[in-house]
């Protein structure tokens, strides 16, 4: 059974509940398992020489990073930071070990914590404000804006250039459709998680008529299948097209889709952020750490197989009900590159934020949150929610 992140209007990621009849793919080669120890207790690599990047004088001894879901390929850039034999904490759904930069020890540890079911489906932002040990967390741009009044965050690195969020449909039913607007123009109802900010945008922009937006999606494929291809449905381009074509027994055929990004709703998905109040205190660390994060992503996509082996092992050992196969992992990597979900954007730099794009998005989404009754902080400016200060402009995907 594939578990789901229940979608609320303060979240932008969901996953399916799929009875796919698959055994979880496992791999034991890269890890040792500890069912009760705290992942932060991973021993420092005191017998390993510190390499070209020394974080020990500027960063916490244990750099804690909070993700927004179970381990998956979208998080591969983080798991790339781990060296050999990381400590897996099955009880707390985290993994830790000495933090490496391009194969060299940096003098500190890193602890990567799972989100979703591991944190009771809370937002990462609320988890960051509950636990001050967390230095960095995945916070999508619209979440940062919406929660800014009580829990302000500032993004410092964008691992994804585009959100993988999409609307998918049956290409046999809608053979000439290329866009969401084509599908709804042919009469499709689009099923989505109610309260999603992106749907408020799509309806207000005239892309989806309100009468054809159905907020009853529950994360399962049942309604999509029952409609016989008549209805469209939200999902993630980095997962669902493969899953529906290969792992959903009652479908087992392709789907077409359009990224929500391509409709004009362009947040930075799962941007890595700090609490805004901690930005100044964290600056010296971030100056050294953010380029390490950039390079780790470059290294991961150059050779994703070893990290994906670890991801599959983590999924198996965490045992949250989340099913993640080798096929999905491989498809995700390829799709993220092919679709530009991961990329340098309009320049040659990986992980930076485009000022014009964020300014436009900010102007678009603030009225939406005002209308939903969750207005951003008084006086919030777009410059409050992100910074490119720590980005190394020389690091990019080739």
Residue 7 has pLDDT above 60, yes or no: no
pLDDT of residue 135: 98
Task: With cut-offs at 50, 70 and 90, classify the pLDDT of residue 46.
Answer: low
CATH architecture for segment(s) 32-161+268-321+341-384: 3-Layer(aba) Sandwich (3.40)
Residue 36 pLDDT > 90: no
Question: How remote is the C-alpha of 334 from its chain's centroid?
Answer: 16
Give the separation between CA 347 and CA 345, rounded to whole angstroms. 6
Say yes or no to pLDDT of 21 above 80.
no
Domain 165-263 top-level CATH class: alpha beta
The residue extents of the domains of the chain are 32-161+268-321+341-384, 165-263
Is 80 exceeded by the pLDDT of residue 302? yes
Strand order of the sheet with strand 190-191? 213-214, 190-191, 232-236, 165-169, 256-259
Half-sphere exposure of 397 (CA within 13 A, CB side): 23
Answering whether pTM is above 0.75, one says yes
Q: Is 19 a residue whose pLDDT tops 50? A: no
Q: Is the confidence at residue 295, as pLDDT, over 90? A: yes
Q: How far apart are CA 28 and CA 7, in angstroms?
A: 32
What is the predicted pLDDT for the residue at 4? 30
- Looking at the predicted structure, is the pLDDT value of residue 23 above 80? no
Q: How many residues does the chain have?
A: 398
Over residues 197-221, the pLDDT tens digits come to: 999 999 999 999 999 999 999 989 9
pLDDT tens figures, 257-281: 999 999 999 999 999 999 999 999 9
Structure tokens at 334: 């390829």
pLDDT in tens, 136-154: 999 999 999 999 999 999 9
CA-based nearest residue to 130, from 272, 275, 12: 275
Cα 131 to Cα 371: distance, rounded to the nearest angstrom: 30
Average pLDDT for 152-159: 98
What's the rounded mean pLDDT across residues 372-396?
97
pLDDT value at position 43? 52
In sequence order, what are the residues at sequence separation of 6 or more whose Cβ sits closer than 8 angstroms to the Cβ of residue 7? 13, 14, 192, 193, 194, 195, 196, 217, 219
The residue with greater pLDDT, 15 or 284, is 284
DSSP 137: E
**Tokens, residue 264:** 């004009």
Q: What confidence score (pLDDT) does residue 31 get? A: 32
How does strand 134-138 pair with strand 62-66? parallel
């Amino acid at each position: 059974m594939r578990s789901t992140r229940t979608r609320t209007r303060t979240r932008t990621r969901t996953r399916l509940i799929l009875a796919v009849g698959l055994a979880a793919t496992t791999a034991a080669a890269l890890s040792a398992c500890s069912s009760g120890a705290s992942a932060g207790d991973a021993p420092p690599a005191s017998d390993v020489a510190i390499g070209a990047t020394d974080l020990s004088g500027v960063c916490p001894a244990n750099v804690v990073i909070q993700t927004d879901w179970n381990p998956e390929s979208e998080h591969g850039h983080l798991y790339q930071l781990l060296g050999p034999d990381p400590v897996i904490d099955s009880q707390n759904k985290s993994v830790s070990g000495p933090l490496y930069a391009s194969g060299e020890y940096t003098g500190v540890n890193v602890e990567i914590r799972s989100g979703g079911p591991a944190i009771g489906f809370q937002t990462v932002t609320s988890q960051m404000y509950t636990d001050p040990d967390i230095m960095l967390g995945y916070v999508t741009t619209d979440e940062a804006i919406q929660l800014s009044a009580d829990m302000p965050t500032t993004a410092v690195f964008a691992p994804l250039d585009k959100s993988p969020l999409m609307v998918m449909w049956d290409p046999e039913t809608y053979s000439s459709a290329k866009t969401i607007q084509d599908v709804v123009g042919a009469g499709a109802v689009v099923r989505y998680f109610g309260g999603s900010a992106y749907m408020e945008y799509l309806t207000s922009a005239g892309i989806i008529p309100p009468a054809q937006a159905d907020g009853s999606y529950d994360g399962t494929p049942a309604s999509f299948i029952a409609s016989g291809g008549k209805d469209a449905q939200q999902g993630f381009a980095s997962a669902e097209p493969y899953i529906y074509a290969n792992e959903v027994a009652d479908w087992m055929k392709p789907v077409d889709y359009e990224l929500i990004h391509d409709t004009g709703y362009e947040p930075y998905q799962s941007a890595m952020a700090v609490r805004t109040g901690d930005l100044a205190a964290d600056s010296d660390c971030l100056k050294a750490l953010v380029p390490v994060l950039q390079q780790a992503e470059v290294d991961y996509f150059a050779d994703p197989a070893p990290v994906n082996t670890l991801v599959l092992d983590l999924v198996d050992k965490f045992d949250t009900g989340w099913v993640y196969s080798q096929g999905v992992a491989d498809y995700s990597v390829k799709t993220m590159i092919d679709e530009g979900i991961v990329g340098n954007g309009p320049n040659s730099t990986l992980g930076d934020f485009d000022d014009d794009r964020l300014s436009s998005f900010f102007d678009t989404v603030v009225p939406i949150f005002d209308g939903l009754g969750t207005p951003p902080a008084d006086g919030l400016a777009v410059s409050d929610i992100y910074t490119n200060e720590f980005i190394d402009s020389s690091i990019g995907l080739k």
